[in-house]
Copies of this chain bind each other. A is one copy, B any other.
Amino acid sequence: MNWIKQELAQRGTLINQALENYLQTEEIYPPVIHQAMRYSVFAGGKRLRPILVLAAAEVVSNRPHRALPAAVALEFIHTYSLIHDDLPAMDNDDLRRGRPTCHKVYGEAVAILAGDALLTQAFEVLSDTAFPDGPESTIVLQVIREIAQAAGTLGMIGGQVVDLASEGQQIDLPTLTYIHQHKTGALIRAAVRSGALLGGASADELLALTGYAEAFGLAFQIADDILDVVGNEAVLGKPVGSDARNEKSTFPNLFGLERSQEMARETAEKAITCLARFGDRARFLRALTQYVLERDS
């Protein structure tokens, strides 16, 4: 547990530096939009998606830095989705990770545009062909295509649409599964696949890592739902039980806490099974999967 925490902190620092390199500074005209983008990007996220990109690349390659632009792009897309989700017209959240949300600080108009800008910037970063020792252009195009699909209406946006439409309603398991697979699962899957593709994975390796990503994404989401029930408010930075109060559909709501914890464990084991062929190279991904189950925030 100590080793993985240190690893996560080190990798987080590397990723924060890369995010810094790809963002405009606060003085660049017009300043307010760059301030709002930086405010949300540096709001203390776990950097899970970029960590997955780089970890998948290192499983198949000795040049995981090739995947750094994709890691940055995925975090930009994740951050844009949080800014837009928090808007009054959507979830209407005043707090995110214990701090006022983007629109509470910069107003709705700038928050909408900051989200738009991070989504746009993600694709600018992805198309950075000046990256030293970069991967082949055809691979980069495939990665752009997969990330756009994962973020679009058949992926993340589709999940958000169904989630919004389901609010205040008792939903069934297929709908809950759809929401999770699309709202968070699609981008996690794209993160792992992007890293694998940019690292030069073979077709078989890509298939194994895709299986890992799908199971990992589900385990992560169940664990997140559980944390909302049992977590500590101060550690989480948001009110515990907020999902239940908003009548959001969650695994504990549908299956109870104990069965949900069992499901999270089983799904994480399934994820780890997909990594067997990679031996010691997948040590970090295995530990990360365990960590996601055991974390308290």
Residues on A lying within 8 angstroms of B by beta carbon are 24, 28-30, 32-34, 37, 80, 84, 87, 89-90, 107-110, 112-113, 115-117, 119-121, 123-124, 126-129, 136-138, 140-142, 144-145, 148-149, 151-154, 157-158, 160-162, 164-165
Q: Which of B90, B110, B116, B158 sits near A109, CB closer than 8 Å?
A: B90
Q: Contact: A141 with B142, CB < 8 Å?
A: no
Q: Contact: B90 with A158, CB < 8 Å?
A: no
- CA gap between A121 and B123 in the complex, in Å: 11
- CA gap between A182 and B29 in the complex, in Å: 12
Q: Contact: A148 with B121, CB < 8 Å?
A: yes
Q: Which of B34, B80, B121, B144 sits near A144, CB closer than 8 Å?
A: B144
The 4 nearest A-B residue pairs measured at CB = A137-B137, A89-B108, A124-B148, A127-B145
Q: Contact: B116 with A87, CB < 8 Å?
A: no
Q: Contact: A142 with B129, CB < 8 Å?
A: yes
Chain B residues with CB below 8 A from A129, complex form: 138, 141-142, 145
- CA gap between A19 and B126 in the complex, in Å: 24
Expressed in whole angstroms, the minimum distance between the Cβ of A294 and any Cβ of chain B is: 34
